[in-house]
């Protein structure tokens, strides 16, 4: 493997909606460059970057994967990312760790939800973006339409640099507006070879229009050029490219290219454009880092002579290898076998078998320079989003702001007794996937897993099975209802038992009153004249709390109430703590049903983003989920609808919203608090509880 200095590296994240042709494009780029020896294909499971068993089985990308193409003496690192929102964390990680986004669109599908999402990511990371309209050979391919959609839904600053010759089955080449030449593909070419020709007559008119647009757009980003343009003077190829590079850097211009990746059409031209237009790491401004454990800020030059720093942007577990860390060097260089330091975990790590990745193949290298991307297996204490640095300069880099999980389900062990193993496995999996969380919910005695979508959680359970050999299934999460009281009542709890020798005796009188929501539990000792000796009073309190855990109506913990202990009696010989605790339990059971008990349910604040045309459907659906709509406001491109919805009604909401909005709606959810449950819904929960209770009793 050749050694590539920072100036000869390009880092490009290949992003876009699922099925837009990203993985096929990465394959084509690596293959036509000769860096990958065979042209892998999605169809037969041989693709370069979709190599995990999960991906081959499903036929789409799940994990961020790396490949490279060597072109014109430059190594183009390609980050193939998944398109489905369930795996958006990996798309963000790819965009974050690269220097430019190559946004792939299908020529018939155009801009889709996933395209909007990755566009947002490229904006977050403030780096260059290039559009590639692929699948020009497909039925209904329409370059002009897709370009129009990019302008309307993403950015008016997009501008074609290539246009197709023909479309669908007639797609045969591309015209490059900068070089003013046409590439006509040799039918049946396996490596994207073409004849370079003058502009064919059939696209002459179109060419003139697009070329004019391009020059005008580029010129308008540069004061000196625009003057010359208006005077009608010629603008040279080099001037155009220099101005384009500068405008792309400021995100004032986004070039559009086209082709058909699966046929390798357009792959060679695209590589040349990437090498020419995308900045090398050496062009980047310094990385901002912080000295570990201090507030001291450091600026690290992306150069070999700066202290070493790298971010682990992804951890994957690979069969036969174990955990593999993908990292991007932000400053300094690193040698095979070198010891580095993970400051946040105070761990020294040895970079044995330092490698780069061509899909599943790992190619060992002696050295990696500033800005390059590497892989390393079996780091001991390093996880996704950790920084690797040196003992001498222990810095941490900014962390990737991974999206928060939006859905949760319960998991159940397929085999009894596996619960502990499942929880251990889940804990390990959160280390490799920051968009995945888990917790044990003691209220409902279930393990909950949180993720970005159902597919995401299915994949997690698949990994659990493969990596930890435990099998779990998804179940509906139980709702942690609560109970409370709305009225005031008083009464007695009296425990008396006479068994031969020493008996048991405890007797108390309590009053129960409601507290405001969130007010918690309050116990007031109002005993005067020692009707209960003070040493037994805490026992009454404990008894009440113990009884309250088991509820009044449906077995859920009772919250937000006050108990006043105002009278009682005792026996000098038979009274003890246990008796008074039992008296407390009895008092609670006697009095609480007379205090107008009600069920409380958790509510969530919901923010739904939807295109306006689906607003009616989304609101109707929320109404049927007992949602309270607070209003809607215009967002940047979509409407933002705010509502408060009971958690019990939000099971599988992500799937429903997806189908209501043709995949374009998204939502965020936050726990709001507890509120009284309406009678009808509450009655169902109580009925359910009575039913299971009866079943249990019958079982004995």
Ligand X SMILES: Nc1nc2c(ncn2[C@@H]2O[C@H](COP(=O)(O)OP(=O)(O)O)[C@@H](O)[C@H]2O)c(=O)[nH]1
Q: Which residues bind ligand X (CB under 6 A)?
A: 16, 18-24, 42-43, 60-61, 83, 134-135, 137-138, 260-263
Of 171, 141, 173, nearest in space to 266 by CA: 173
Q: Supply 252's token pair.
A: 């004032």
DSSP string, 445-496: TEEEEEESSHHHHHHHHHHHHHHH---EEEEPPPP--EEEE-S-EEEEEEEE
Find which of Mg ion, ligand X, none residue 129 binds, CB within 5 to 8 Å per kind.
none
Rounded to the nearest 5°, which phi and psi values hold at 244?
Answer: -65, -45
Contact letters (x/-) for Mg ion, 287-306, by CB under 5 A?
--------------------
Q: In the set 23, 155, 264, 661, which binds Mg ion (CB under 5 A)?
A: 23
Nearer to ligand X among residue 65 and residue 609 (C-beta): 65
**Residue 270 region, left (φ>0) first, then alpha (ψ -120 to 50), else beta?**
alpha
Q: Which is nearer to ligand X, 101 or 280 (CB)?
A: 101
64 binds, among Mg ion, ligand X, none (CB under 5 to 8 A by kind): none
Give the number of C-alpha atoms closer than 13 A to the C-alpha of residue 371, restricted to the C-beta side: 29
CB of 128 to Mg ion, least distance (A): 21
In a 13 Å sphere around the CA of 521, the CA atoms on its Cβ side amount to 15
Looking at the Cβ atoms of 60 and 481, the one nearer to Mg ion is 60
- Compute the least distance from the CB of residue 637 to Mg ion, in Å: 25
Q: Which residue has the tokens 């209770």?
A: 693
**Is the CA virtual torsion 330, 334, 337, 340 positive or negative?**
negative
DSSP string, 174-226: EEETTTTEEEEEPTT-SS--EEEESPPGGGHHHHHHHHHHHHHHHHTTSHHHH
> Minimum CB separation from ligand X for residue 21, in Å?
4
CB of 94 to ligand X, least distance (A): 12
Complex with Mg ion: residue 78 or 178, whichever CB lies closer? 78
Cα separation, 662 vs 614, in Å, equals 9
Nearer to ligand X, 64 or 261 (CB): 261
The rounded distance, in Å, linking the Cα atoms of 494 and 492 is: 6
Question: Shortest distance, CB of residue 261 to ligand X, whole angstroms?
Answer: 4
Residue 21 interacting partner from Mg ion, ligand X, none (CB closer than 5 to 8 Å by kind): ligand X
Q: Which is nearer to ligand X, 185 or 523 (CB)?
A: 185
Neighbours of 620 (CB within 10 A): 11
User: SS3 for 563?
Assistant: strand
Query: Quick one: tokens of 688?
Result: 């359910």
Q: What is the DSSP letter of 638?
A: S
Closer CB to ligand X, 161 or 267, in the complex: 267
Instruction: Find the part of the chain contacting Mg ion (CB under 5 A) among 6-14, 21-29, 446-454, 592-600.
Output: 21-29
Which residue among 11, 61, 77, 385 contacts Mg ion (CB under 5 A)? 61
Nearer to ligand X, 263 or 407 (CB): 263
**450 touches which of Mg ion, ligand X, none (CB within 5 to 8 A by kind)?**
none
Q: How far is the CB of 625 from Mg ion (least distance, A)?
A: 34
Residue 564 interface partner, choices ligand X, Mg ion, none, CB cut-off 5-8 Å depending on type: none
* Token pair for 201: 């007559």
Which option in ligand X, Mg ion, none does residue 11 bind, with CB closer than 5 to 8 A by kind?
Answer: none
- Work out how close the CB of 459 gets to ligand X at its nearest, in angstroms, rounded to a whole number: 15
Tokens 């039992």: give the residue: 582
Q: With contacts defined by CB under 5 A, name the span among 59-67, 230-238, 277-285, 665-673 that binds Mg ion.
A: 59-67
Which CB, 17 or 669, lies closer to ligand X? Answer: 17
Q: For Mg ion, give the closer residue by CB, 433 or 560.
A: 433
Shortest separation between residue 103's beta carbon and ligand X, angstroms: 11
Q: Taking CB within 5 to 8 Å according to partner kind, which of ligand X, Mg ion, none is near residue 135?
A: ligand X
Nearest-angstrom CA–CA distance, 300 and 550: 58
Residue closer to ligand X by CB (options 19, 602) is 19
Work out what residue 309 binds among ligand X, Mg ion, none; the CB cut-off runs from 5 to 8 Å by kind: none
- Residue 372 binding partner per list ligand X, Mg ion, none, with a CB distance cut-off of 5 to 8 Å that depends on partner kind: none
CB 15 within 8 A of CB 102: yes
Taking residue 495's Cβ as centre, other Cβ atoms within 10 Å add up to 21
The least distance separating ligand X from the CB of residue 323, rounded to whole angstroms, comes to 24
With contacts defined by CB under 5 A, name the span among 53-61, 170-178, 327-335, 656-664 that binds Mg ion.
Answer: 53-61
User: Per-residue DSSP letters for 382-442?
Assistant: --TT-EEB-SSS-EEPPPP-PPPP-EEEEEEESSTT-HHHHHHHHHHHHHH-TT-EEEEET
| Partner from Mg ion, ligand X, none binding residue 409, C-beta < 5-8 Å depending on class | none
CB of 422 within 8 A of CB of 472? yes
Structure tokens at 254: 């986004």
Give whichever of 17 and 482 is closer to ligand X, judged by the CB atom. Answer: 17
3-state secondary structure of 560: coil
Q: How far is the CB of 150 from Mg ion (least distance, A)?
A: 20
Least distance (Å) from ligand X to the CB of residue 20? Answer: 4
Residue 20 touches which of Mg ion, ligand X, none (Cβ within 5-8 Å per kind): ligand X
Burial of 468 (0-12, 13-18, 19+ CB in 10 A): middle
572: DSSP letter? T
Q: Which helix (H) or strand (E) holds 660?
A: helix 653-660
Q: Is 10 exposed, middle or buried (0-12, 13-18, 19+ CB in 10 A)?
A: buried
Residues 428 to 467 in contact with Mg ion, rule: CB under 5 A: none
Q: Which two tokens stand for residue 360?
A: 């599943």
Of 50 and 304, which CB lies nearer to ligand X in the complex structure? Answer: 50
| Residue (63 or 355) nearer to ligand X, CB | 63
* Contact region with Mg ion (CB under 5 A), list: 56-64, 181-189, 446-454, 635-643: 56-64
19 binds, among ligand X, Mg ion, none (CB under 5 to 8 A by kind): ligand X
271 in Cβ contact with 29 (< 8 Å): yes
Distance in Å, CB of 115 to Mg ion, minimum: 14
Q: Looking only at residues 75 through 104 of this chain, which bind Mg ion when binding is defined by CB under 5 A?
A: none
Q: Is 47 in the site for Mg ion (CB under 5 A)?
A: no
DSSP 478: P
Give 213-238 as a 3 state SS string.
HHHHHHHCCCHHHHHHHHCCCCCCHH
Give me the least distance between CB of 457 and ligand X, in Å please: 20
- Taking the complex as a whole, how short is the minimal distance between the CB of residue 149 and Mg ion, in angstroms? 21
- Three-class DSSP category at 559: coil
Q: Kindly state the smallest distance separating residue 54's Cβ from ligand X, in Å.
A: 14
Rg for the chain, CA atoms, rounded: 32
Q: Which residue number, 42 or 595, has a Cβ lying nearer to ligand X?
A: 42
For Mg ion, the binding residues (CB under 5 A) are 22-23, 61
């Amino acid at each position: 493997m050749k050694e590539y200095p920072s100036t000869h590296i390009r880092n490009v994240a290949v992003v876009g909606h699922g099925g837009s042709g990203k993985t096929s494009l990465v394959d084509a780029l690596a293959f036509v460059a000769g860096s990958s020896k065979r042209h892998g294909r999605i169809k037969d499971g041989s693709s370069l970057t979709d190599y995990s068993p999960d991906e081959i089985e499903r036929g789409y990308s799940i994990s961020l994967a790396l490949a490279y193409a060597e072109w014109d003496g430059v190594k183009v690192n390609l980050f193939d990312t998944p398109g489905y929102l369930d795996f958006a964390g990996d798309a963000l990680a790819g965009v974050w760790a690269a220097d430019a986004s190559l946004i792939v669109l299908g020529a018939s599908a155009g801009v889709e939800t996933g395209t909007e999402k990755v566009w947002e990511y490229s904006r977050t990371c403030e780096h260059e973006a290039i559009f590639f309209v692929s699948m020009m050979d497909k039925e209904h391919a329409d370059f002009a339409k897709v370009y129009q959609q990019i302008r309307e839904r993403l950015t008016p600053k997009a501008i074609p640099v290539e246009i197709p010759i023909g479309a669908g089955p007639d797609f045969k080449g591309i015209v490059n507006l900068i070089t003013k030449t046409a590439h006509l593909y040799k039918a049946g070419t396996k490596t994207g070879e073409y004849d370079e020709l003058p502009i064919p007559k059939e696209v002459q008119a179109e060419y003139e229009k697009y070329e004019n647009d391009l020059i005008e757009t580029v010129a308008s980003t540069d004061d000196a050029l625009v003057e010359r343009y208006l005077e009608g003077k010629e603008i040279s190829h080099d001037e155009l490219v220099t101005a384009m590079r500068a405008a792309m850097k400021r995100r004032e211009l986004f070039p559009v290219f086209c082709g058909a990746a699966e046929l390798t059409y357009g792959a060679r031209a695209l590589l040349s454009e990437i090498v020419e237009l995308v900045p090398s790491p050496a062009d980047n401004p310094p990385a901002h880092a912080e000295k570990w454990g201090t507030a001291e800020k450091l600026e690290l030059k992306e150069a070999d002579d700066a202290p070493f720093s790298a971010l682990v942007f992804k951890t994957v577990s690979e069969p036969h290898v174990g955990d593999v860390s993908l990292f991007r060097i932000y400053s300094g260089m690193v040698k095979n076998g070198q010891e580095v330091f993970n400051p946040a975990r105070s761990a020294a790590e040895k970079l044995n078998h330092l490698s780069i990745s061509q899909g599943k193949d790992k190619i060992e290298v002696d050295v990696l320079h500033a800005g390059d991307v590497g892989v390393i297996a079996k780091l001991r204490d390093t996880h996704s989003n950790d920084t690797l640095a040196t003992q001498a300069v222990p810095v941490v880099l900014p962390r990737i702001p991974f999206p928060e999980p939006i859905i949760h389900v319960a998991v159940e062990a397929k085999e009894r007794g596996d619960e502990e193993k499942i929880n251990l496995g889940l804990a390990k999996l959160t280390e490799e996937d920051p968009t995945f969380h888990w917790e044990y919910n003691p209220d409902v005695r279930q393990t909950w897993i949180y993720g970005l979508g159902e597919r995401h959680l299915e994949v997690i359970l698949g990994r659990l099975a493969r990596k930890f050999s435990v099998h779990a299934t998804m179940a509906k999460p139980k709702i942690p209802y609560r109970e409370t009281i709305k009225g005031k009542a008083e009464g007695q709890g009296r425990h008396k038992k006479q068994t031969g020798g020493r008996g048991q005796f405890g007797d108390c009188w309590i009053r129960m009153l409601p507290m405001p929501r969130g007010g918690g539990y309050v116990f007031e000792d109002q005993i005067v004249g020692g009707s209960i000796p003070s040493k037994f009073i805490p026992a009454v309190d404990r008894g009440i709390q113990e009884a309250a855990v088991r509820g009044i109506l449906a077995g859920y913990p009772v919250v937000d109430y006050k108990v006043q202990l105002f009278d009682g009696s005792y026996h000098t010989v038979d009274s003890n703590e246990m008796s008074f605790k039992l008296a407390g339990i009895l008092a609670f059971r006697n009095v609480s049903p007379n205090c107008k008990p009600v069920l409380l349910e958790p509510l969530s604040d919901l923010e739904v983003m939807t295109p306006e045309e689906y607003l009616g459907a989304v609101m109707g659906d929320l109404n049927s989920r007992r949602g309270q709509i607070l209003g809607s406001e215009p967002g940047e491109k979509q409407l933002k609808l705010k509502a408060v919805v009971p958690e019990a009604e939000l099971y599988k909401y992500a799937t429903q919203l997806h189908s209501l909005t043709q995949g374009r709606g998204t939502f965020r959810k936050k726990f709001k608090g507890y509120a009284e449950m309406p009678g009808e819904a509450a009655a169902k929960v109580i009925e359910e509880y009575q039913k299971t209770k009866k079943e249990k009793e019958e079982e004995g």
